[in-house]
Amino acid sequence: MAEAERIIGTPDTPDAAGDGQERPDAEQEQGQEQEQAPERPRGKRRVAVLFAVALFAYLLDLGSKMLVVAKLEHHEPIEIIGDWLRFAAIRNAGAAFGFGEAFTIIFTVIAAAVIVVIARLARKLHSLPWAIALGLLLGGALGNLTDRIFRAPGVFEGAVVDFIAPKHFAVFNLADSAIVCGGILIVILSFRGLDPDGTVHKD
């Protein structure tokens, strides 16, 4: 009888107990897989938002510059709000808002590096606000980088088209505005402790 119980097994045997323990573990693993499964699509949606914002900012900047070059360059400035805001086409060899005109190539390299960093960071992106902020940065950087590459006086030394001229302030373009807005949003998110991967930390 004892030999038969040893072969067949009873509920008190380690084998039977082991069978009872494996089911909860399997259920926990399935639950974890179900919890982790939505993360990938959500991350992909955030990346899609990033590139959609970047594309919108880039096309808006590119279209505005093409219109300014065609209609405003070599013409009198257009007053939008009296002397407080005008549209005046200028070529800027420096950075945003006309700073550092002697370092055109350096600014071109920096813009290209920013684009590469944002593209690499996108793989770990799970935060919608960060997606918007990085999209604005990416679109602005691409907009000005396009000018650096394709406009005179030469490749990687091209002058950026600026046209928004507030009174007592430097002339800038929509790409500069996108970069500044993206940067401000990143500072706000950092102060609030929100990371690009969606986690929140408190210092």
Catalytic residues: 162, 176
CA 65 to chain centre: 22
* E strand or H helix that includes residue 47: helix 39-71
DSSP letters for 122-158: GGG---HHHHHHHHHHHHHHHHHHHHHHHSTT-TTTP
Angle at 17 between CA 14 and CA 18, to 5 degrees: 85
Alpha-carbon gap, residue 174 to 61, rounded angstroms? 5
CA atoms within 13 A on the CB side of 182: 25
Give the number of other CB atoms < 10 A from CB of residue 105.
Answer: 11
Residues facing residue 161 across a β-bridge: 91
